[in-house]
Structure formats: structure tokens, C-alpha cells
Structure 1
Amino acid sequence: MTRKPFLALAGLAVAGLAAACAPRVEAPRDEGVCWYVVPAEDGAEDAPPRFNLVARDQPQIEFCAARLEEMRLRFLRLGGSNREIIGAYQGQFIFIDRRGVQFGKDLNGPRFFALTRTGDGRLAIPGAIQRDIDGRPTAIAAPPADAPSAPPAN
């Protein structure tokens, strides 16, 4: 083995050990409490994130995600620019971005896709949006039976 690949492997091993030894941030486990997570500033990588209280007595993680989405939209209406936010609920992290809502046990670990955005920006369960093969939504209500029919095309 030549010296350059060996040094590259050694550098990767050291980086992996440093990442493994870094303190893991845990989400608060307070029952029914929804938190907004403020990441550490750019200059302070070893500083832990701050947890700000958003709401109490939230029965499920989806309700907490709704409160965080509400907060995100209010900040945007006030002129804010942060389109992605992180929250926490009973030991899990909530990630909200333009695609929807994801849950994860760790800030940097794998995430579970929970809610997706509809065409008008609302959040919905991914399986609730039925689409045709061409991508058009199929869950559109039909006109009432007693409604007049459309005039014939000429």
C-alpha cells in the first residue's frame, strides 16, 4: 500500500472516531410538550442547541408539528426568511421544510417522512393524496346529481 491511500484512510478513521465521540443531543422527553430547537451558532460548534417552549398539552407528535408549522408561517408573514425549522416532542426531533414534515431520533441521523405538502402548501398524510397516473389529484368531488350539466361543445 502506498503512503497516500494509507494517510487518507487514517484521516477518515480519525474523523469517524471524532464524530462518534461527539456528544449526542437528546430531545427533551417532557410529556405533551412541544419545543422549537434553535441550532448552535456557526462559530460555536460544540455548543448545544437551545430548546424554546412552543406549546403544552399536545396529545400527539402531529399536533406539535402543526404548532411548529403555524409558528413558521407567522414568522414568514412578519418578514422572516427561515423556511426550515426543527422542533422536538417527547424524545423525537421534528424537521419541517418545503417537502413536508420528517421525524427522527437524532439531529443528524435517519428521518421518517411523516407528512407531505399538498399542491396548495398544506400538510397531509402521504397516502391521503390520491393521484392518477398522470399526477392529477383524483380525490376531487363530483358535481351534485341535481346540478345542470355543462352545455354541449360546439
Structure 2
Amino acid sequence: MRALLSAMILGGATVGLGACTSGFEAPYDPGVCYYVVPSETEGEEPRLNVVAQDQPQIEMCAARLEEMRARFLRMGGSNREIIGAYQGQFIFIDPQGVKFGKTLTGARFFALARTGDGRLAVPGAIVRDEEGRPVAVAENPPTAPAE
């Protein structure tokens, strides 16, 4: 009787843990960049649309998603936040920058920030003014070749 009771408790705990870990996962297709279309109804999984293939790294996928976001905004769209997926990770693009995460609802790693003119850059490379706002930095002018 005691063994049966402990087996039932263990089985119930296993089922409970399985329910907690089940969720929508980013696909692991090598080099494929996806746009994640959030579901409109409760309980339905998001849809995936291929944005680009043969992307060598996650930052390149983020750049393709940013291009898509900017193009939609120019055409009159209003969605300023986009979710993408690349090789098992989710990419979150919003007006502040780009973040990566393993799940749709979990912790996110801040990867790229927006400069003062809206471009994306590594956070440490951004120059800020006294109040902390990003300042657009132009590239150094090319030097004339020595004769």
C-alpha cells in the first residue's frame, strides 16, 4: 500500500513538472531566421514565418528582422515590437533595442541597443550625453592616401 501511494505521488509530480516545462520552443534549424507571429487566441501556438536562410549568427538574423520591422513601419504598419527565432533562441526587437531569450516569457539578455539615430549597436559602443540619452556618432572621415 505504501509503495503504491509513493508511486502515485511520484507519478503526479512528474506529470506536474511536465506541464510546467511544456511550451512553445524556438526551432533549431541551422541558419534559418524566423518571424514569430503571436497567436490571437488563448492556447494556440504562435506561427513561424521564414525571414531569411543561411544566416551565420543570431545578430544577422536580428538585422533581417529589424529590416522587416522598418519596412512594415514605412508601409504604414503600427507594430513596433517584433519577435523572431534563431537556432533555439528567441529574438525580441523593440524601440530600446534587441534582446535574446530561451523562452517567450522568461529572462532576456540585452544584446544590441539603439543609437540616437535609431541604428543598432553593441551597448558599450554607444556614446551618451549627460542625461544618459544616446548620441548619434558619425564615422571618422576617410583619410587621404599618402603620396
TM range (shorter): 0.7 to 0.9
SS in 1 for 2:70: helix
Tell me whether 1:77 sits opposite 2:74 in the alignment: yes
Q: Which amino acid aligns with 1:109?
A: G
For residues 40 and 72 of structure 1, do their structure 2 counterparts lie closer, same or farther at Cα, with a shift above 3 Å needed? same
Contact 2:115–2:135 (8 Å) recurs in 1: no
Q: How far apart, CA to CA, are the structure 2 residues paired with 1:132 and 1:111?
A: 26
Structure whose CA Rg is larger: 1
Kept in 2, the 8 Å contact 1:40–1:50? The answer is yes
Q: Which amino acid in 2 is paired with 1:23? A: S
For 1:127, the aligned partner's letter is G
Residues 1:140 and 1:75: Cα distance change in structure 2 (over 3 Å): closer
Instruction: Structure 2: give runs of 5+ residues left out of the alignment.
Output: 1-15, 142-147
- Provide the rounded CA distance (Å) in 2 between the counterparts of 1:54 and 1:133: 39
Give the TM-score normalised by the residue count of structure 1. 0.72
1:77 aligned partner, one-letter code:
R
Instruction: Identify the residue that residue 66 of structure 1 maps to in structure 2.
Output: 63
Q: CA deviation at 1:122?
A: 0.4
Match of 1:126 among 105, 123, 126: 123
Structure 2 residue corresponding to 1:45, chosen from 33, 42, 47: 42
2:64 maps to 1:32: no
Runs of 4+ in 1 over 4 A off after TM superposition: 132-143
Contact in 2 for aligned 1:131/1:139 (Cα 8 Å): no
Match runs of 1:91-110 below 5 Å: 91-110=88-107
Pair 1:106–1:134, CA change in 2 (3 A)? closer
Distance (Å, rounded) in 1 between the aligned partners of 2:56 and 2:95: 25
Distance 2:53 2:127 in 1: 34
Between the two proteins, what is the percent identity of the paired residues? 70
Specify the alignment match of 1:88 in structure 2. 85
Q: CA RMSD in A?
A: 2.5
Q: Note if contact 2:97-2:120 (Cα within 8 Å) is conserved in structure 1.
A: yes
**Count of residues paired in the alignment:** 124
Tell me the amino acid that sits aligned with residue 82 of structure 1.
N
